[in-house]
């Protein structure tokens, strides 16, 4: 089930796990703050020729989309900066050269050589970024690039308020009052979608769209690149009957971007008609898009599609990880909380991630749990915290093989908490146990353990501080 989060982005609730995929405060903000910003991506783009990313529990792709957007934005800014410096150097030094009487110091017959010397340093920029996306839900993966990135306040407004009332702010307050209170006294006057109206009205007042628009935007090309990758994987079975049915559902329709759906249909139809040209009208339609459509020209003219290689692995992540032999620069571990998905937080699963992490690579997760941190420590990771400047709080956990990559190490208090019963990890020796078995095994170990309880540890820390 989809819902709107407070930054206007779309969140996801799983009925199977009775849990949310994303923070209600902002699905897109969370992806940027907890996963992408801590990667130090700008440094990696300059220092690495090829970058490999592992996105565990891809879901509807916010972490991957935000990372791709960050790469595109950094590359575009770098090109703008480089072009500006080159232009400045040419103009400035050309004036200087004309004023110099002795021309022997500069070879005026070879202007290209002069430009090369005067241009900014030629740092290598990453040429290939491979992202392995792991998720067990194929439907979500297919849907991910078709969803709207954010819903703007204007869209929220027009969903509820007729155009004739657009200028009256009072209408909002009256509508919300009716939706909240009047149904008790006048139930027959209430619309059937009362809960949806309340949700949208709350979102209108709490919407942080301006912040998303400026800071955490998703580049418009990203979803098109993901669609292309999915069509390459699924061929003519990408937009199948099941997916089309979901997209057309009345309660789901508002969450999808019509232009992205059109593009996906076009790409799939083009592929089919390229192989089989029996449908002349569709083929001519494709020729129009290929040669005349401004949107498609913009996408084709941009070489970012060759920069990214996306691989989608639809399976239990424990099985997928055993099939992957890639060495990763960044690992996103964004699984459900350990009480719901313990199989992806076990000592043995984390050990597989450690094997596949580059010496200068980092693993990032949203969890601050003593259990998770202790599991990372037991596998030989150096473990630290993710600091968020906006909230002035620590909002997640970062792990690495290289100690120097940990900017905010765990405190003595946090390390001590990892050594209590709260830090007892999950085990799944052969990476095949059901969740309930993994949980019961830990519960048994917890009961028989002689370790100090977390509550007792907290009390002892208070006493020593007093």
Task: List the domain boundaries for the chain.
Answer: 315-465
Contact 62, 33 (CB under 8 A): no
What SS3 class is residue 333?
strand
CATH value of 315-465 in 3.40.50, 1.10.10, 1.10.260, 1.10.20: 3.40.50
As given in the structure block, the two tokens for residue 281 are: 């009208």
Q: How far apart are CA 211 and CA 81, in angstroms?
A: 24
More confident residue, 124 or 67: 67
More confident residue, 431 or 206: 431
**In the predicted structure, residue 424 carries a pLDDT above the cut 90:** yes
Strand-pair category, 2-4 with 382-388: unpaired
As given in the structure block, the two tokens for residue 396 are: 């997640």
Beta-ladder partners of 400: 362, 382
Report the pLDDT value the prediction gives residue 432, as an integer from 0 to 100.
Answer: 96
Per-residue pLDDT reduced to its tens digit, 45-76: 888 889 999 999 999 999 999 999 999 888 87
As given in the structure block, the two tokens for residue 272 are: 């089919």
Q: Which long-range contacts (CB under 8 A, 24 or more apart) does 237-245 make?
A: 238/142, 238/264, 238/268, 239/264, 239/265, 239/268, 242/139, 243/139, 243/142, 243/143
Report the pLDDT value the prediction gives residue 103, as an integer from 0 to 100.
Answer: 44
Contact 354, 377 (CB under 8 A): no
Beta-ladder partners of 20: 13
Residue identified by tokens 């085990």 is 427
**In the predicted structure, residue 200 carries a pLDDT above the cut 60:** no
Q: Which of 36-50, 202-216, 373-387 has the lowest mean pLDDT?
A: 202-216
Question: In 111-188, at which residue ranges do the beta strands (DSSP E only) sit?
Answer: 128-135
Per-residue pLDDT reduced to its tens digit, 309-344: 999 999 999 999 999 999 999 999 999 899 989 999
Task: Share the mean pLDDT of the chain.
Answer: 79
Q: How far apart are CA 72 and CA 126, in angstroms?
A: 11
Measured between alpha carbons, how far is residue 186 from residues 175, 182, 189, 192, 194 in Å? 14, 6, 6, 13, 13
Report the pLDDT value the prediction gives residue 277, as an integer from 0 to 100.
Answer: 47
Q: Is 389 exposed, middle or buried (0-12, 13-18, 19+ CB in 10 A)?
A: exposed
pLDDT band at residue 110 using 50, 70 and 90 as cut-offs: very low
């Amino acid at each position: 089930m989809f819902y709107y989060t407070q930054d206007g982005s779309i969140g996801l609730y799983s009925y199977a796990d009775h849990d949310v995929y994303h923070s209600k405060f902002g699905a897109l903000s969370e992806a940027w703050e907890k996963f992408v910003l801590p990667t130090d991506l700008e440094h990696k783009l300059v220092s690495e020729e090829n970058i490999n990313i592992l996105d565990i529990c891809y879901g509807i792709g916010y972490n991957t989309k935000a990372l791709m957007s960050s790469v595109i934005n950094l590359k575009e800014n770098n090109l703008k900066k480089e072009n500006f410096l080159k232009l400045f150097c040419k103009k400035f030094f050309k004036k200087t050269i004309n004023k110099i009487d002795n021309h022997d110091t500069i070879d005026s017959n070879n202007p290209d050589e002069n430009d090369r010397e005067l241009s900014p340093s030629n740092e290598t920029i990453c040429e290939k970024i491979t992202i392995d996306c792991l998720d067990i839900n194929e439907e979500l993966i297919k849907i991910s690039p078709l969803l709207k990135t954010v819903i703007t306040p204007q869209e929220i407004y027009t969903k509820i308020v007729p155009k004739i009332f657009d200028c009256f702010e009072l209408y909002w307050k009256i509508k919300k009052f009716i939706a909240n209170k009047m149904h008790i006294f006048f139930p027959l006057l209430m619309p059937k979608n009362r809960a949806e109206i309340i949700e949208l009205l709350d979102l209108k007042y709490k919407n942080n769209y301006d912040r998303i628009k400026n800071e955490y935007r998703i580049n418009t090309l990203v979803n098109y690149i993901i669609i292309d990758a999915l069509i390459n994987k699924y061929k003519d079975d990408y937009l199948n009957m099941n997916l089309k049915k979901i997209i057309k559902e009345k309660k789901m329709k508002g969450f999808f971007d019509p232009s992205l759906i059109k593009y996906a249909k076009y790409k799939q139809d083009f592929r089919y008609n390229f192989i089989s040209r029996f449908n002349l009208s569709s083929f001519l339609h494709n020729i129009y898009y290929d040669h005349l459509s401004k949107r498609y020209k913009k996408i084709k003219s941009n070489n970012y599609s060759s920069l990214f290689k996306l691989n989608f692995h639809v399976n239990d992540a424990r099985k997928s990880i055993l099939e992957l032999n890639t060495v990763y620069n960044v690992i996103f571990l964004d699984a459900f909380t350990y009480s719901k998905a313990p199989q992806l937080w076990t000592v043995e699963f984390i050990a597989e991630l450690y094997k596949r992490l580059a010496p200068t690579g980092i693993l990032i997760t949203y969890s601050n749990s003593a259990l998770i941190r202790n599991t990372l420590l037991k596998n030989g990771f150096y473990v630290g915290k993710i600091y968020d400047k906006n909230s002035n709080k620590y909002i997640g956990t970062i792990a690495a093989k290289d100690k120097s990559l940990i900017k905010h190490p765990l405190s003595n208090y946090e390390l001590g908490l990892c050594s209590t019963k709260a830090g007892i990890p999950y085990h799944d020796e052969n990476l095949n146990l059901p969740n309930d078995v993994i949980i019961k095994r830990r519960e048994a170990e917890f009961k028989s353990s002689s370790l100090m309880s977390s509550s007792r540890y907290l009390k002892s820390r208070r006493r020593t501080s007093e």
